[in-house]
Amino acid sequence: MDEKIRREAAEEEVQGWCELFGGELDLGIREKIVQGFMAGRITCDIKSEAFTVHLLKPIRLENGKTIDSLKIGEPDFDQINNSERAKNEVEQTMFLLSSVTGHPVGVIGRLKMRDLTLCGSVLGFFG
């Protein structure tokens, strides 16, 4: 992975986000986010309190368009409640990502594993 930002700066930035959003990240998730930030794949818009994740593998749609980033904001109660119909944790993440990004679950389902993992990790800031 290309390192665009130094680790110390990345860790400081992620710590700042944790304090801003009040989320507790476990070590594994935190490391994924730090690495994602170091690679320039995650940005945070403080004003809108949302993260943008730039995808390693953009999603190609059948109509020829491409989705190369996802904007992930804080889910509300309805969105969380709705996601709990999922059969498992991965599916729950997909439903939540669908709700907060506005993209249909059929599109979110095309995320490759590394992108899905990073996007799911970002949701941890809000939990």
Partner 1 sequence: MTVRGGDIIQVMLFGREFDPVPESNVTYRLSGRSNESKPTGNGGMHTIQRLKLGGFDSLPLSVDSSRGDVEFLQEKANSGEPGPCSMTLINGETYAGNLAIQGEVDPNTGDGQVEVTALGAKFELI
Which residue number, 22 or 64, has a Cβ lying nearer to partner 1? 64
Nearer to partner 1, 35 or 69 (CB): 69
Q: To the nearest whole angstrom, how small is the minimum distance from the Cβ of residue 59 to partner 1?
A: 10
Q: Name the minimum Å distance from CB 95 to partner 1.
A: 8
Task: Output 62 or 84, the one with its CB closest to partner 1.
Answer: 62
**Minimum CB separation from partner 1 for residue 105, in Å?**
5
Identify residue 69 by its one-letter amino acid code: S
Instruction: Name the residue nearer to partner 1 (CB basis): 10 or 108.
Output: 108
Contacting positions for partner 1 (CB under 8 A): 61-63, 65, 78-79, 82, 98-99, 102, 104-107, 109
CB of 99 to partner 1, least distance (A): 6
Contacts of 8 (CB under 8 A, 6+ apart): none
In the beta sheet, which residues pair with residue 72? 51
How many Å is the Cα radius of gyration of the chain?
A: 14
Contacts of 19 by beta carbon, 8 Å cutoff, 6+ apart: none
E-strand ranges in 16-95 read 42-45, 50-60, 66-72
Nearest-5° angle of CA 125, CA 15, CA 25?
Answer: 40
